[in-house]
Amino acid sequence: MTLPIRPDLQGLKPYGAPQLDVRARLNVNENPYAPPNAVVDAIAQSVRKAAQGLNRYPDRDFAGLRQDLAAYIAQESHVDFVEPRNIWAANGSNEVMLHLHQAFGGPGRTVLSFAPTYSMYPEYARDTFTEYVTVPRKEDFTLDVDAAVAAIREKHPVMVIVASPNNPTGTALSLDEVRALMRAADEVPGGCVVVVDEAYAEFRRWGTPSAASLVPQHPNLAVSRTMSKAFAFAGARLGYLIAHETFIDVLKVVRLPYHLSAVTQATARAALAHHRALQAQVDEIRAERDDTVEWLRAQGWTVADTDANFALFGPFEDRERVFQGLLERGVLIRVTGPEGWLRVSIGTPQEMALFRSALLEVTS
């Protein structure tokens, strides 16, 4: 019997990187450090309390969690306007992105992004029957602002999504670049929202600003974040967004009722209470990232400037061969980005030592 699958979905494979049990898992930009014991204990306590009320649906508006996220982002991004009403959250920033597409996308509508970028963007668009178009980045992977502005004027997208730091390149945006996008978006007839995807924001190099500070002046700007990376929390699934209340009201319309379970809310609040302890791990990853970039460059590879917890490096004549060679030595990285490039997530010092020796073996 044939299933009446949507024609545009027929034959497609689900998105997903390999989950292999190897010595160094450096392929999906996870935080390599498990949550510290104090955080694990706090989560266990918090979940125990939540479990006592699991016969009831969770707080649909996750008021406590929004309050904690607002306090965290105010401190992390040095902004003073963020109130709980400026926060939205969902099961990973993947779900936040889907909400954005459900709310603003749809048939006859266009989303614009800048390639190479996060490979899920076209999938949110596909799933919401939205057209997805990209403008190429410059050779050094920075944004081609003139081309971006021209594309916004020509295509009239309903939404511009730009990852900063960008995946897979690590490239961050300056506030001037965000302002240029906003100016172009503000001229689109019918309106255009700009989403800055800051999944990796906590890893940015000193002095690289967050776009969150621009939100007060722009009711059509949203900054998306996640606890998956900096909080060592990928398994918990908690992403969030900062925007004007009017923007967030639109997202409420499309979310499923009770989309954030009581367990998720309790887990996330316990981790947020320990954000200072988790920040120490972020500092270590950042230092390891800078060392890795320096080492790769010293070996003669080109490495994209990175503000994230990964590095894109190359070029390799046969990147599949290098990927396989590393895998045979217990190091799993990612074949992604333009032809010839590879991406490595930053792991512990031990994992990175293994990566370095394996890479030398494979490429010598």
Contact positions toward ligand PMP, by CB under 6 A? Answer: 29, 92-94, 118, 163, 167, 197, 199, 226, 228, 234, 239
Question: How far, in Å, CA of 327 to CA of 310, rounded?
Answer: 17
Amino acid occupying residue 35: P
Q: Which is nearer to ligand PMP, 123 or 197 (CB)?
A: 197
Question: How do strand 302-303 and strand 342-345 relate by DSSP bridges?
Answer: unpaired
Q: Which is nearer to ligand PMP, 310 or 323 (CB)?
A: 310
> Which residue's CB atom is positioned nearest to ligand PMP?
92
Q: Which is nearer to ligand PMP, 24 or 358 (CB)?
A: 24
User: Which 8-state DSSP code applies to residue 19?
Assistant: -
Shortest Cβ 173–ligand PMP spacing (Å): 13
Shortest Cβ 165–ligand PMP spacing (Å): 8
Q: Which is nearer to ligand PMP, 151 or 227 (CB)?
A: 227
Question: How do strand 239-242 and strand 302-303 relate by DSSP bridges?
Answer: unpaired
Question: How far, in Å, CA of 107 to CA of 118, rounded?
Answer: 22
Buried b (16+ CB within 10 A) or exposed e, 296-319: beeeebebbbbbbbbbbbbebeeb
Q: Which is nearer to ligand PMP, 82 or 232 (CB)?
A: 232
End-to-end C-alpha distance for the chain, whole angstroms: 53
- The token duo for 311 is 């590095």
Shortest Cβ 93–ligand PMP spacing (Å): 3
Shortest Cβ 52–ligand PMP spacing (Å): 28
Q: DSSP 3-state assignment of 202?
A: helix
Q: Which is nearer to ligand PMP, 77 or 167 (CB)?
A: 167
Shortest Cβ 326–ligand PMP spacing (Å): 20
Residue 63, Cβ neighbours under 10 Å: how many?
12
26 within 8 A of 332, measured Cβ to Cβ: yes
Phi and psi based region of residue 176 (left: phi greater than 0; alpha: psi -120 to 50; beta: remaining): alpha
Shortest Cβ 360–ligand PMP spacing (Å): 28
